[in-house]
Structure 1
């Protein structure tokens, strides 16, 4: 075994606790660093792919131009998905040894369905099944909308390991877990084994914090500014306790990092964290002690004040705070779906700019 302390806090956590972490990107360069420090998974979405493409544009530009030349009848959307698929497949190769060693429980790279399809279960199912055929060590990311919950059950039944995304609340996470259980139950009735599947339910803790800050600013609500940093932590901890008590097959994943508590407060949990490269570097250079904190309660004064002043925290924290029909209208959901779709549009624009380069720019 490597000396965990020599490699930093993330590696120490990976070596000494049951908590996993992923690289919150499909960049091969970032993934290599993450794996060296103990990561056992990775993820992508249109925003992530666009950011990787922008940061590594010179590396990807020849391939993009080749695709454009090879596919003279393809539009920017077709070409964008070719790049998304190729980028995720490259990252998945790095994780495949972990996938094999863990019998499919770890070493997975998530790929997300088109964010525009958040209301169309049939289309999401079709695209997800296609993605599942690309490489064996995948999770398919599905947004937690009403249509998304239908999709999650159907994909689980079909043997596809899902990663629920655009999820911020206890009721959303429970709906995901129950949909997965229904899918597994349908498989069991037909005598189909599900033991190698690895369903994931993401809670975007930082995006819940972000949303409450926006609500406070819009409505002029004053509270201790530090309290906002605990909203996502409290919500995930409550969901984690419920998942453990009920023995759900799905594993929780913490996402959307804004502060060190989105890492340190979850250490010791049988869960995963998808951590951006920048935050990995910060955590590895920090002096934060690696110790179990998942069962440490959030101060009741913080929960009580957030609960009293913010109806949206009530919706996030209460088990029945949102109905299935309300998932899509929750503020953090709408804001995140909009950002994913905008990120997708920007990715299409990048491809379009190469297809139709500006004739007034010298050298183009």
Structure 2
């Protein structure tokens, strides 16, 4: 029997990943404790997370000093620092990876956000990160931009496991699944063991509500205001329906029969931004078999403390979810524009965070010289 809401979530088929990583978490045993006590079976990172870790911690001082003495430039230093953290976290999660046949025990590291719209550069960086981390339980994060789609196919085709990030729209999610299947076909043609390739598709939730709620407030009618904070969950529920449909096709079935793994949906951006909403909304409202929910620590702790897990809250919800999106369109919310704005903002935010990370490391290298 489940001993906590997080345990109940795991029993319902949700893999709990922490949306954070720092050397301090690893060195102090904090991450190991979350694995042991809070059912955490994976970690995701992004440029913002690394920028925060390096700006707040003394844990990197010794390595920065060594890199400075060796004359490392800032790009090389960031590459070494971040991949070291991912290697150490991957080693910590290795027993879970082995026990789950590679589905969990995963640690994600993202390509430089500045290459999000450059297919060739994304592929080159993904391959470099994969080779450097050199752990089978790593995932290379690639944004689901238009340029990213071709990169996903190429990288999967090379036998590299991928976390596709920054997915906001159902149409883009369908294109991501297509890119994954095409990559598997390339890998199979190259003689690569398909069972060694894993992927998750990170579908963002709370940012959808934030953007749509802003537009609903601007419209201001009773009909519009009644739809506030419904879009994020509805959009994700329909993403799960799409996942079920696309991996039941003849094409997918053939690849699965050849040893391939389904690309699992991952709920990202699950921290609740609106203080008027339940702080576990994007966890307990999105329970379904075979999904990943990557949570900031605050959301993880809230779920552990008072989350109410009632089983599957996704399958069977599709008609209601479709009705929400139809009603949003009827009051004047342009879904395609919302998701395009969110994708562009997502890339821009990561570029800003990456630049902050470079500035932090540049200053640290100068201080150490």
Q: Same fold (TM over 0.5)?
A: yes
Q: Which residue in 1 is equivalent to 2:231? A: 231
Q: Is structure 2 residue 275 aligned with structure 1 residue 274?
A: no
The 5 A counterparts of 1:140-155 are: 140-155=140-155
Using the size of structure 1 for normalisation, the TM-score is: 0.85
Most deviating of 307-316 and 165-174: 307-316
Secondary structure in 1 matching 2:13: coil
Match of 2:331 in 1: 309
User: 1:9 is matched with which residue?
Assistant: 5
Aligned residue runs from structure 1 range 222-301, under 5 A: 222=221, 227-247=227-247, 249-257=262-270, 258=272, 259-297=279-317, 298=320
Partner residue of 1:100? 98
SS at match of 2:21: coil
Contact 2:238–2:321 (CA<8 Å) still a contact in 1? no
Q: Distance in 1 between matches of 2:169 and 2:33?
A: 31
Match of 2:126 among 111, 128, 153: 128
Aligned counterparts of 1:25 and 1:192: Cα–Cα separation in 2: 32
Specify the SS of the correspondent of 1:228.
Answer: coil
Counterpart of 2:164? 164
Which residue of 2 is the match for residue 25 of structure 1?
20
Rounded Cα–Cα distance in structure 1 between residues aligned with 2:129 and 2:321: 43
Distance 1:12 1:313, change over 3 A: same
In structure 2, distance between residues paired with 1:225 and 1:68:
55
Residue 80 of structure 1, CA deviation: 1.5
C-alpha separation between the residues in 2 aligned to 1:53 and 1:246? 40
1:108-145 Cα offsets, whole Å, 9 max, x none, are: 10110000001111111111112112222111110111
Q: 1:114: which partner in 2? A: 112
Shift of 1:333: 0.7
Distance 1:191 1:79, change over 3 A: closer
The structure-2 alpha-carbon separation of the partners of 1:187 and 1:289, relative to structure 1 and needing over 3 Å to count, comes to closer
Aligned to 1:90: 88
Normalising by structure 2, report the TM-score.
0.84
- Name the CA shift for 1:239/1:352 in 2 (closer, same or farther; >3 Å): same
Preserved contact between residue 105 and residue 196 of structure 1 (Cα < 8 Å): no
Matched, 1:349 2:369: no
Deviation by residue 1:297-329 (Cα, 9 ceiling, x = unmatched): 24666433322234432567xxxxxxxxxx8xx
Residues 1:250 and 1:301: Cα distance change in structure 2 (over 3 Å): closer
Residue 24 of structure 1 contacts residue 277 of structure 1 at CA under 8 Å; is this kept in 2? Answer: yes
Alpha-carbon distance between aligned partners in 2 of 1:310 and 1:31, rounded to the nearest angstrom: 45
Deviation of 1:296 (Å)? 4.8
CA separation of 1:336 and 1:68: change in aligned 2, threshold 3 A: same
2:171 is paired with a residue whose SS is helix
* Cα distance in 1, alignment partners of residues 230 and 76 from structure 2: 41
How far apart are 1:177 and its partner, in Å?
A: 0.5
- Check conservation: 2:224, 2:328, Cα contact below 8 A: no
Kept after mapping to 2: 8 A contact 1:30/1:277: no
My pick for the range that moved more, 228-237 or 177-186, is 228-237
4+ long deviations beyond 6 Å: none
Paired residue total: 338
CA root-mean-square deviation: 2.4
Shift in Å, 1:11? 2.0
For 2:267, what is the secondary structure of its paired residue?
strand
CA contact (8 A) 2:110 2:140 kept: yes
For residues 89-113 of structure 1, the C-alpha deviation after alignment (integer angstroms, 9 at most, x for no partner) is 1211111111112222221101100
Give the Cα separation in 2 of the matches to 1:277 and 1:118.
27
Q: Indicate how the Cα distance of structure 1 residues 343 and 314 shifts in structure 2: closer, same or farther if over 3 A, else same.
A: closer
Q: Relative to structure 1, is the Cα distance of residues 150 and 111 closer, same or farther in structure 2, using a 3 angstrom cutoff?
A: same
Are the structure 2 counterparts of residues 314 and 278 from structure 1 closer, same or farther at C-alpha, using a change threshold of 3 Å? same
Question: What is the CA-CA distance between 1:32 and the residue it aligns to?
Answer: 2.5
Residue matched to 1:319: none
Matched residue SS, 1:285: helix
